[in-house]
Amino acid sequence: MNPCTMASPQVDTDGDGRWNSIHNRFLSDAKGKEADVIFMGDSILQALEHTEVWNQWFSPLHCLNFSIHKDQTQNVIWRIKNGELDYVDPKVIVVHVGTNNVEHTAEQVCEGILEIIRTIREKHPSAYIVLPSLLPRGQYPNALRDKNSAVNQLLKEKVSNMNKVEMVSIDKGFIQNDGTISHHDMHDYLLPSNAACRKAFEPIYDLLQQILSEGEPEKDLTPSE
């Protein structure tokens, strides 16, 4: 059994029930708003919501952001199965999760993301699914960076022929010539700064605009890596 594909809530290790509170807030957010785009994932996307880039680019596109710090693939599957996408009719769902599955292999994480795609498809068969690649992490080269890179490669192959699923490379430019990541791009070597979000998420913004304004883009016209 692959733990990355089995729906499960995040364990409340702190004991203040915050994860469940946030999930419940997303449920009520979903009921009250008409969102064309839903972001779902981990702290990378959660942090994006608190940048200028979000206010300038994504907020005007009628986006909701259902992302939670530390979430792993199985947590996102649980949240989808427990209603977060039940009261919305999005045209696009943007998913970034997997970097927190630190105990799992690249193959397991890739399967977890594919399970998220299947779970979304059950709820929204015609919605477009956009997958920003997993970002590198850590100041110096490390096993998690290598694994995220491997997840990206595996996933790219798996989704290349899927209809209405588009993977977009956002991980370029973070690793400098000497192999380090600068704190200007990631102050904690995990979350992109506002300036880095602007670089990384511009192709996501472009693709969302294209999908929302023209409908489904032709597969061979979408941005290539």
| Binding residues vs its own copies (CB under 8 A) | 13-18, 21-22, 25, 46, 50, 68-69, 102, 137-140, 142-145, 183, 187-190
Report the nearest approach of its own copies to the CB of residue 162 (Å). 30
Are 138 and 145 a contacting pair, CB within 8 Å? yes
Complex with its own copies: residue 68 or 117, whichever CB lies closer:
68
Report the nearest approach of its own copies to the CB of residue 201 (Å). 17
- At position 217, the amino acid (one-letter code) is P
Cα 214 from chain centre: 23
Q: How many residues does the structure list for the chain?
A: 225
Report the nearest approach of its own copies to the CB of residue 108 (Å). 16
Complex with its own copies: residue 140 or 173, whichever CB lies closer:
140
Report the nearest approach of its own copies to the CB of residue 16 (Å). 3
H/E run at residue 158: helix 143-159
Strand order in the sheet with 63-67: 63-67, 37-41, 92-96, 128-132, 165-168
Complex with its own copies: residue 87 or 210, whichever CB lies closer:
87
Cβ neighbours, 10 Å, residue 122? 10
How far is the C-alpha of 88 from the C-alpha of 96, rounded, in Å?
Answer: 19
Query: Can you read off the two tokens belonging to residue 48?
Result: 């994006």
Report the nearest approach of its own copies to the CB of residue 223 (Å). 28
Complex with its own copies: residue 119 or 133, whichever CB lies closer:
133
Complex with its own copies: residue 167 or 186, whichever CB lies closer:
186
